[in-house]
Amino acid sequence: PMDFPAALRTETPLDVLRRVFGYDSFRGFQQEVVEHVAGGGDALVLMPTGGGKSLCYQIPALLRDGVAVVVSPLIALMQDQVDALRAVGVRASFLNSTLDPDTRRLVEAEFVAGEIDLLYLAPEALGSRATLNLLDRGRIALFAIDEAHCVAQWGHDFRPDYLALSMLHERWPGVPRIALTATATSATRAEIATRLDLTDARHFVASFDRPNIQYRIVPKREPRKQLLSLLRDEHPGDAGIVYCLSRASVDKTAEFLVANGIAALPYHAGLDAVTRAAHQRRFLREEGLVMVATIAFGMGIDKPDVRFVAHLDLPKSVEGYYQETGRAGRDGLPSTAWLAYGLQDVVQQRKMIDTSEGDATHRRNLAAHLDAMLALCETVRCRRGQLLEYFGQPATGPCGNCDTCLTPPESWDGTVAAQKLLSTVYRLDRERNQRFGAGHCIDILLGRSNDKIVQHRHDALSTFGIGTDLREAEWRGVVRQLLAEGLLAVEGDYGTLALTEASAEVLGRRRTVMMRREPERPASTGKTAKA
Ligand code: ADP
Ligand code: ZN
């Protein structure tokens, strides 16, 4: 509809921001990125979710001649992204497998004629000769590579299609490229730069701090009930996302919430596409809905008033945790990131790693990611500080808005407890050649003469009953923390406990182990924090 006179091409980035998008001023380093890319430079942009990455390529797309080609893995969201641009008068289209042949031809013609400013493409499209030939026939303003961490094998969201994107530079050497991601450690960032041939690109790295998000990690007891009190006490009527690991637990949790009067909807890959799309739409448009979902949900979701993100299962990596919790509070208002985590999570994830496809390096990689996540869960330090450090950003002291800052966990010298537990595992393993799970080892320490104990004559072990000074919950905490520190390992289908090389240091009294005290009741910090 709008026909831009040539004079408008001389607009400044700020003019475009105001005229087209209706915003007053740039955020963070948006303006620097826009100027750099509009001037023909390559860029690698790291900005947390909600930071405003899109404008970093959308404005250069309007300032430069030709069509900006945006590579995005989020096929389900292309329509929304394009609609949002069209709503402000920007000419945008997309090409992906969902289009019918007629529409596809129409979009291709628009591209060749330069009648659009942005063309969104799925990464797999660039693997097809037809698409490459099409791109040769038009004039390309720039390439934007969204969710660029998908190119990194060391990351948590690897997509093989992304590897082919390194050819953009070879095929169209004069076209500037901008890669964007919300999540990357320095290792991942280096991998992105290498794989996308962006080593000479300018890097723009925003602070990853999300000060309005309150991070809380609690021991998992009865997760659904714990979740329900969180929602009732602190987030009544609020919109939020609840992440579960499995489809089955998504369904059960959504049913449980609905049965308890909370407006909740399930979302996972096992639901048909129509239902999924309908639930997503309702979540975006209606107020106060709770989306219970697997991690299939959320990438690219732009809903500013998500007041909480709750995890009922342990995320596989800190990157994943950060990205998922980052969907809370994009409007800058106080929001909660809440995670319930327990021993079973560790057992389950170790098992998934052991049985995962891929080579030893891949499994080590997964294990390293899990270890970093466990370390975050068990830390007695400021959670935010630990998160930021993980992403290579120095923290500036305790944040005052995470559970460990608000109710500092007591730490205690757990060396003796650790020795008791480890020597139980040692005796079972070395003396009897048996391995058992955490529950059974704790039963031995607590001196419980149940059937299994009697059957295996574990009441005759020298460690039987020597742990009655701690409660069962405390023992589980001991096991978790030993696992998190690599002083103990879980193995096999049944999550049996085994010693590690480092265990010997504790058994030999060469190492003390400080532990986080298990709270008597779940820590509730909500109200005070909102002040
Ligand atoms: P990201 O892709 O980094 O997660 P988006 O590009 O989707 O973030 O932007 C998040 C939200 O912030 C959007 O609603 C966007 O319109 C808004 N936004 C971005 N830049 C600005 C700005 N300079 N001023 C005001 N709002 C902005
Ligand atoms: Zn803190």
pLDDT in tens, 38-86: 999 999 999 887 789 999 999 999 999 999 999 998 887 888 889 999 9
Tens-place pLDDT, residues 3-22 = 555 545 578 999 999 999 99
Q: Atom of ligand 1 at shortest distance to CA of 24?
A: 24
Contact 494, 437 (CB under 8 A): yes
Alpha helices by DSSP H, 88-218: 101-112, 129-137, 167-171, 186-195
Phi and psi of 119, rounded to 5°? -125, 120
Nearest residue (by CA) to ligand 1, atom 18, is 52
Cα 390 to averaged position of ligand 2 atoms, centre (Å): 14
Mutate to test the pocket of ligand 1, among 46, 55, 118 (most ligand atoms within 8 A of CB): 55
Q: Atom of ligand 1 at shortest distance to CA of 53?
A: 3
Cα 357 to averaged position of ligand 1 atoms, centre (Å): 38
Nearest residue (by CA) to ligand 1, atom 23, is 26
Contact 247, 268 (CB under 8 A): yes
ipTM field: 0.97
Contact 294, 242 (CB under 8 A): no
Residue 402 DSSP symbol: B
Q: What is the pLDDT of residue 69?
A: 97
- Give CA–CA dist 113/134, Å, rounded: 11
- Residue 305 banded pLDDT, cuts 50, 70, 90: very high
- Overall average pLDDT of the 190-206 stretch: 90
CA 279 from chain center: how many Å?
21
- Give CA–CA dist 293/313, Å, rounded: 11
Residue 527: count other Cβ atoms within 10 Å of its Cβ. 9
Tell me which range, 186-200, 216-230, 420-434, is most confidently predicted by mean pLDDT: 216-230
Cα 378 to averaged position of ligand 2 atoms, centre (Å): 14
Phi and psi of 481, rounded to 5°? -70, -35
Contact 294, 319 (CB under 8 A): no
Report pTM.
Answer: 0.73
State the helix-helix crossing angle for 472-484 and 415-426, rounded to 10 degrees. 80
Contact 118, 110 (CB under 8 A): no
Nearest residue (by CA) to ligand 1, atom 25, is 23
Q: Answer whether residue 157 shows pLDDT above 80.
A: no
CA-based radius of gyration for the chain: 26
Q: Atom of ligand 1 at shortest distance to CA of 302?
A: 7
Report the side by side order of strands in the sheet with 213-219: 213-219, 335-341, 308-311, 240-243, 290-293, 264-267
- Residue 397 banded pLDDT, cuts 50, 70, 90: confident
Cα 265 to averaged position of ligand 2 atoms, centre (Å): 32
Q: What is the pLDDT of residue 9?
A: 57
19 or 127, higher pLDDT: 19
Provide residues with CB under 6 Å of ligand 1. Answer: 23, 26-27, 30, 47, 49-55, 182, 302
Beta strands 177-181 and 240-243, pairing class = unpaired
Contact 9, 66 (CB under 8 A): no
Which ligand is nearest the CA of 25, by number? 1
Over the chain, what is the mean pLDDT? 90
Cα 268 to averaged position of ligand 1 atoms, centre (Å): 27
Cα 416 to averaged position of ligand 1 atoms, centre (Å): 52
Q: Atom of ligand 1 at shortest distance to CA of 26?
A: 23
Q: Answer whether residue 525 shows pLDDT above 50.
A: no
Nearest residue (by CA) to ligand 1, atom 15, is 52
Which ligand is nearest the CA of 30, by number? 1
- Overall average pLDDT of the 191-211 stretch: 90
Residue 95 DSSP symbol: E
Q: What is the pLDDT of residue 526?
A: 42
Instruction: Look at the block and give the residue holding tokens 């009741």.
Output: 521
- Overall average pLDDT of the 215-224 stretch: 95
State the chain's maximal CA–CA distance in angstroms.
Answer: 90
Q: Answer whether residue 328 shows pLDDT above 50.
A: yes
- Overall average pLDDT of the 185-201 stretch: 87
- Give CA–CA dist 32/37, Å, rounded: 9
Tell me which range, 131-135, 317-321, 513-517, is most confidently predicted by mean pLDDT: 131-135
- Residue 183 banded pLDDT, cuts 50, 70, 90: confident
Mutate to test the pocket of ligand 1, among 21, 46, 145 (most ligand atoms within 8 A of CB): 21
Residue 407 DSSP symbol: S
Cα 381 to averaged position of ligand 2 atoms, centre (Å): 7
Share of the chain above pLDDT 90, in %: 63
Tens-place pLDDT, residues 399-439 = 999 999 999 888 899 999 999 999 999 999 887 788 899 99
Dihedral (C-alpha) 172, 178, 184, 188: value to the nearest 10 degrees? 20
User: Which amino acid would we find at residue 337?
Assistant: A
The two tokens of residue 527 are: 């109200």
The two tokens of residue 54 are: 């899109």
Q: Answer whether residue 361 shows pLDDT above 50.
A: yes
Contact 182, 170 (CB under 8 A): no
Cα 500 to averaged position of ligand 1 atoms, centre (Å): 47
- Residue 272 banded pLDDT, cuts 50, 70, 90: very high
Nearest residue (by CA) to ligand 1, atom 20, is 52
237 or 183, higher pLDDT: 237
Contact 313, 253 (CB under 8 A): no
Q: What is the pLDDT of residue 174?
A: 92
Q: Atom of ligand 1 at shortest distance to CA of 55?
A: 6
Burial of 347 (0-12, 13-18, 19+ CB in 10 A): buried
Lowest mean pLDDT among 115-129, 130-144, 344-358: 344-358
Write out the H or E segment, with its range, that includes residue 377. helix 360-378
- Give CA–CA dist 468/335, Å, rounded: 40
Which ligand is nearest the CA of 384, by number? 2
* Short-list 240, 233, 293, CA closest to 267: 293
Mutate to test the pocket of ligand 1, among 17, 20, 23, 118 (most ligand atoms within 8 A of CB): 23
Nearest residue (by CA) to ligand 1, atom 5, is 52
Tally of CA atoms within 13 A in the half-sphere of 12 that contains its CB: 7
Q: Atom of ligand 1 at shortest distance to CA of 30?
A: 23
- Overall average pLDDT of the 291-314 stretch: 91
- Overall average pLDDT of the 334-344 stretch: 95
521 or 307, higher pLDDT: 307
- Give CA–CA dist 14/441, Å, rounded: 65
The two tokens of residue 408 are: 């500092």
Cα 131 to averaged position of ligand 1 atoms, centre (Å): 30
Mutate to test the pocket of ligand 1, among 18, 20, 27 (most ligand atoms within 8 A of CB): 27
Nearest residue (by CA) to ligand 1, atom 19, is 52
Q: Atom of ligand 1 at shortest distance to CA of 21?
A: 16
